[in-house]
A and B are shown apart, each in its own frame.
Chain A
C-alpha cells in the first residue's frame, strides 16, 4: 500500500437512493482513499454507484439524493460538513473534475479560451493579460496545437479529443491536488483515448497530483491505474494494487469482469468453410451535397466506392472510428439511405422473398431502437404482419423467439422501459429474426452494453447465426469485440476501405498504417501481456 498521506479519504460513505429505487443505497458503505501521486481507478458496470461516489466528493449530488452519511475527508476536513461556499472554493482550486461528454460539458456560445479563463476569474483576481498568458500555457500543457488561435475557437470547431483536452486544461489550470475523472475517454475513439490517457498520466506524474479515475473498461484500468477499487451495486467488492487485481483477483465478480473483457485472440477458426454467397456489394458509395447560402454546392464524401462479398454462416467485421463511414456502409446496404452509386445485391435462394425480409438490422442504442409507446410484442410482430402473416401466428412466433433470445414469453406485453439495456438488445434481435432474414447487419449492436452483458449478447448472436445459418455484417469500433465474433475484417478509415483479411492476418500482421495505429491504441495491452 501507499505510505504517503491520503489527499482524500472516504470513510463508510452511504448515499441513500430515493424511495422506490431498485435498492436502498446508491453508494453503500464505500471506503477508499487517494494519495498524492497515485491514480486510483474505480471500476464497475452501469449502476454500480461509481459516478455517484465522484459526485458526492465534489458536493454535486443531484437534489433527489438525500444527505450522504459517513465522511469524506479532504486533507482531514470533512467535505460532507463543509458549507456551500467552502465547497465552491475547493472545487477548481483543490479538486478538479472532468466529465464523460466533451460535447455537452462545454458551453457552445463561448470560446474555449473564455471557458478555461472562467475558472481563473472565479477563484483569482488578476488582470486579464496575465490570465490570458496562463490559459494559453495551460492549453499548451495539455497538448492543444496553436493555443493562441484555439483560445478564440468555439467548441464545435474542435474535435472530440481536443474538447476533452480543453476540459482537462480547465480542470487543472489552478493545479488542484486531486483530479476526479468520470469516464473521460468513454465517448472518444480508441486512438484519441490512448492519447488522452497518456496525457492524464503525464500530467499526473509531472504534478504529483492524486487522480480518482472512474471507468467501466478494465483495459483502461490496466493502462492507467496504480490501485483499483472494484464496485458493484454500490459496494466495494475488492480493492488493491493494479497488478494484483488484474492477475490474481480474489472476488468472483472481479474475475467475471476481467474474463468478460474480450481479448484480441481470434475466436473463430482461421479457414472457415464458406457457405453459399449471400450478398455482393459492388462499388457502393455515398456523397452528400451541401448547398451553401450563396448557391454553391459542396460535396462531402461519406463513403468511397466499396465492394465486399458475404457468405451464409460468415461474419464480417467492419471496424473503424467515428466518421470512418462504417455506419453509412451499413445503411446503404440495408437501403435505409440511398447510395449515390453502386449497388448491393442479395444472392442465393430467395424464394421470392422481398428485399426487406432478407436483410435485417440491429441498432446500437437499445433505448431508442424500440418504440417506447408499443409493447415489445407489438414491435416483434410488426414485421411478419407487414408481410401478411396472420396475427395469431405472428404472436406464436414472437413467443418462440422470446424463448430463443432468452426472455420469458410472458414479457411480450410489457413496454421497453421495463427492460434493461441487454434485454432490449435481445428484443431487437428477436424482432430482426422474426423476419427470417438471411443477412443480419449489426450496427454497433453491443457497444452500449456493459462488458458482462456484452459477452452474453455476443454469445446469443453467435448462437442464432449457427441456428439460422445467417450471414452477419458486424459493424463495430471495438477491435476486441470484432476478434470475438468475426471471420473476416474490413478496416475503414475516412470513408475508405483500407484493409481486408481474416481476423488472424489483420491482427497479427496489419498491412495498413492506420490498422497498426488502431491496434496500438487498444487499452489494456499491458494486461494481456501480464496474463
Chain B
C-alpha cells in the first residue's frame, strides 16, 4: 500500500487553540486593553512598593489638604492619603471583579455542561436559572448585607449569583451544538465515559466564548461593587475601595472634586481596559465575526 503523508508537510504540529491566542495578540484592542489591565494588576500587586503609606491611617491634622510632595493626590476628610487609597483600592476592585468572574464561570460551566448534555436535568436547571435571572443584583446585595455583615465575601456572593445564569446559558448553547457533532458520537462509540466526553470533547469548545464573557462579567462586577459601596451596601468603609472613596468624597464634591474624580478615573480606566480586551478577544475568537474581517 502507498504511504500518504499529510498535505502540509513541514509545518510544525500546532494546537488550534494556541494558534487562535497568537492571533488574538495581534489584535490592537487586545493589546491596548491587555496593557491597561496588566498595568492596573501590576499596581494592585505592587501597592506597598509604589511610595504609598498606610491607606487607613487617619490623621485629623491634615484633613482635606491639596496635593503636595508628601501626599501626591492630597488627603481626604479624615486626613488619609488619597494616592495610597487609590492604589490600594485597585486591590479591592480587582479582587471582587476577578472572584466574581471566576466563581460565576466555574459554577456556570459545571451547571451548563451537565444541563446541556443531559436533557432531563436541563428542564429543571433552566427553570432555576430563569428564577435566578429575575433577582435584581442590587436588592440581593442590599438584602445579604443587611442580613449578615458587609464584607468582601458577601459582595462577591451577591454579585456572583445573578451572573451564573448568563454563563450557564452560554455554555449550554455551545454544548447543545457540539454534542451533536460526529466526533462526540465517535467518542461514545469507542466507550469513552460521559464525564470524560464532557471534559475532553465538549469543554474545550466553550473556552473561547467563556474567555470573552468572563471579561464582561469581571468589568460588570467591578462597576456594581463600586455602585454598592457608593450606596453603602458594599465593602465595609474601612476597606479602601474606589466605590467607598467616591461615596465619601461626594459630600465635598464642590470643594475638592478630586476626591470623587481620581478614584472615578481609575475605575473607568480599569473597566475600559477589561472591555477592550473582551471586545478584541471576541473579534478574534468568534469565527463568525473574525471571518468578516
Within the complex, the shortest CB–CB distance from A470 to chain B, in Å, comes to: 15
With a cutoff of 8 Å between Cβ atoms, the chain B residues found around residue A365 in the complex are 182
With a cutoff of 8 Å between Cβ atoms, the chain B residues found around residue A369 in the complex are 182-183, 186
CA distance in complex: A237, B187 (Å): 42
With a cutoff of 8 Å between Cβ atoms, the chain B residues found around residue A463 in the complex are 1
Contact of A386 among B2, B181, B190 (CB under 8 A): B190
Q: Assess whether B195 is interfacial by the CB under 8 Å rule.
A: no
With a cutoff of 8 Å between Cβ atoms, the chain A residues found around residue B130 in the complex are none
Q: Are B183 and A368 in contact (CB under 8 A)?
A: yes
Q: Which of B9-17, B73-81, B160-168 contacts A (4 or more CB under 8 A)?
A: B9-17
* Contact A22/B7 with A356-B190, A368-B182, A368-B183 known, Cβ cut-off 8 Å: yes
Q: Assess whether A507 is interfacial by the CB under 8 Å rule.
A: no
* Contact A373/B6 with A356-B190, A386-B190, A386-B191 known, Cβ cut-off 8 Å: no
For A355-371 the 0/1 string (1 means CB < 8 A from B) is 01101110111001111
Interface centre among A364, A408, A426, A463 (most CB of B within 10 A): A408
For B13-46 the 0/1 string (1 means CB < 8 A from A) is 1111100000000000000000000000000000
Q: Assess whether B185 is interfacial by the CB under 8 Å rule.
A: yes
Q: Which of A5-13, A128-136, A409-417 contacts B (4 or more CB under 8 A)?
A: A409-417
Q: Interface residues of A, CB < 8 Å — how many?
A: 44
Contact of A407 among B3, B11, B14, B192 (CB under 8 A): B3
* Contact A361/B16 with A369-B182, A369-B183, A371-B201 known, Cβ cut-off 8 Å: no
* Contact A370/B183 with A356-B190, A386-B192, A386-B193 known, Cβ cut-off 8 Å: yes
Q: Assess whether B188 is interfacial by the CB under 8 Å rule.
A: yes
* Contact A414/B189 with A368-B183, A371-B183, A373-B15 known, Cβ cut-off 8 Å: no
Q: Assess whether A423 is interfacial by the CB under 8 Å rule.
A: yes
With a cutoff of 8 Å between Cβ atoms, the chain B residues found around residue A418 in the complex are 6-8, 11, 13
CA distance in complex: A34, B192 (Å): 55
Q: Are A336 and B15 in contact (CB under 8 A)?
A: no
Considering only residues 174-208 of chain B, those with a C-beta below 8 Å from chain A are: 181-183, 185-193, 196, 200-201, 204-205
Q: Assess whether A419 is interfacial by the CB under 8 Å rule.
A: yes
Residue of A nearest to B184 (CB): A371
With a cutoff of 8 Å between Cβ atoms, the chain A residues found around residue B190 in the complex are 356, 360, 382-383, 386, 431, 434-435
Contact of B5 among A22, A357, A408 (CB under 8 A): A408
CA distance in complex: A173, B182 (Å): 41
CA distance in complex: A463, B2 (Å): 14
With a cutoff of 8 Å between Cβ atoms, the chain A residues found around residue B201 in the complex are 371, 374
Q: Assess whether A428 is interfacial by the CB under 8 Å rule.
A: yes
With a cutoff of 8 Å between Cβ atoms, the chain B residues found around residue A368 in the complex are 181-183
CA distance in complex: A423, B1 (Å): 14
CA distance in complex: A411, B5 (Å): 7
Counted as pairs of residues, one from A and one from B, with CB atoms less than 8 Å apart, the total is 99
Chain A at the B interface: SS class: loop
With a cutoff of 8 Å between Cβ atoms, the chain A residues found around residue B17 in the complex are 373
* Contact A360/B189 with A368-B182, A369-B182, A411-B5 known, Cβ cut-off 8 Å: yes
Q: Assess whether B290 is interfacial by the CB under 8 Å rule.
A: no
Q: Are B192 and A382 in contact (CB under 8 A)?
A: yes
Contact of B189 among A334, A371, A413 (CB under 8 A): A334
With a cutoff of 8 Å between Cβ atoms, the chain B residues found around residue A435 in the complex are 190-191
* Contact A354/B182 with A408-B3, A408-B5, A419-B7 known, Cβ cut-off 8 Å: no
Q: Assess whether B4 is interfacial by the CB under 8 Å rule.
A: yes
With a cutoff of 8 Å between Cβ atoms, the chain A residues found around residue B14 in the complex are 415
Within the complex, the shortest CB–CB distance from A380 to chain B, in Å, comes to: 9
For A387-415 the 0/1 string (1 means CB < 8 A from B) is 10000000000000000001110010111
With a cutoff of 8 Å between Cβ atoms, the chain B residues found around residue A370 in the complex are 183, 186
Q: Are B1 and A406 in contact (CB under 8 A)?
A: yes
CA distance in complex: A308, B290 (Å): 49
CA distance in complex: A364, B183 (Å): 11
Q: Are B13 and A414 in contact (CB under 8 A)?
A: yes
CA distance in complex: A365, B184 (Å): 13
Within the complex, the shortest CB–CB distance from B207 to chain A, in Å, comes to: 9
With a cutoff of 8 Å between Cβ atoms, the chain A residues found around residue B181 in the complex are 368
Residue of A nearest to B5 (CB): A408
CA distance in complex: A372, B186 (Å): 13
Q: Are A420 and B7 in contact (CB under 8 A)?
A: yes
Within the complex, the shortest CB–CB distance from A252 to chain B, in Å, comes to: 17
Contact of A356 among B2, B5, B185, B191 (CB under 8 A): B191
With a cutoff of 8 Å between Cβ atoms, the chain B residues found around residue A374 in the complex are 200-201
Residue of A nearest to B181 (CB): A368
With a cutoff of 8 Å between Cβ atoms, the chain B residues found around residue A434 in the complex are 190
Q: Are A419 and B192 in contact (CB under 8 A)?
A: no
With a cutoff of 8 Å between Cβ atoms, the chain A residues found around residue B192 in the complex are 382-383, 386
Contact of B6 among A356, A359, A423 (CB under 8 A): A423
Q: Are B3 and A406 in contact (CB under 8 A)?
A: yes
Residue of B nearest to A422 (CB): B4
Q: Are B193 and A423 in contact (CB under 8 A)?
A: no
Q: Assess whether A375 is interfacial by the CB under 8 Å rule.
A: yes
With a cutoff of 8 Å between Cβ atoms, the chain B residues found around residue A383 in the complex are 190-192
Q: Are B4 and A363 in contact (CB under 8 A)?
A: no
* Contact A373/B204 with A363-B185, A382-B187, A435-B190 known, Cβ cut-off 8 Å: yes
Q: Are A415 and B16 in contact (CB under 8 A)?
A: yes
* Contact A417/B16 with A382-B187, A406-B2 known, Cβ cut-off 8 Å: yes
With a cutoff of 8 Å between Cβ atoms, the chain A residues found around residue B13 in the complex are 375, 413-415, 418
12 of the cross-chain contacts (CB-CB < 8 Å) are A336-B185, A356-B189, A356-B191, A361-B185, A363-B185, A369-B182, A370-B183, A373-B205, A374-B201, A408-B5, A414-B6, A417-B16
Beyond the given A360-B189, A368-B182, could you list 14 further A-B residue pairs with CB under 8 A, ordered by the A residue number?
A: A356-B190, A361-B185, A370-B183, A371-B201, A374-B201, A382-B187, A383-B191, A386-B190, A406-B2, A406-B4, A411-B5, A418-B8, A418-B11, A426-B4
The 9 closest A-B pairs by CB, nearest first: A383-B190, A356-B191, A369-B182, A363-B182, A371-B183, A386-B191, A406-B1, A418-B6, A368-B182
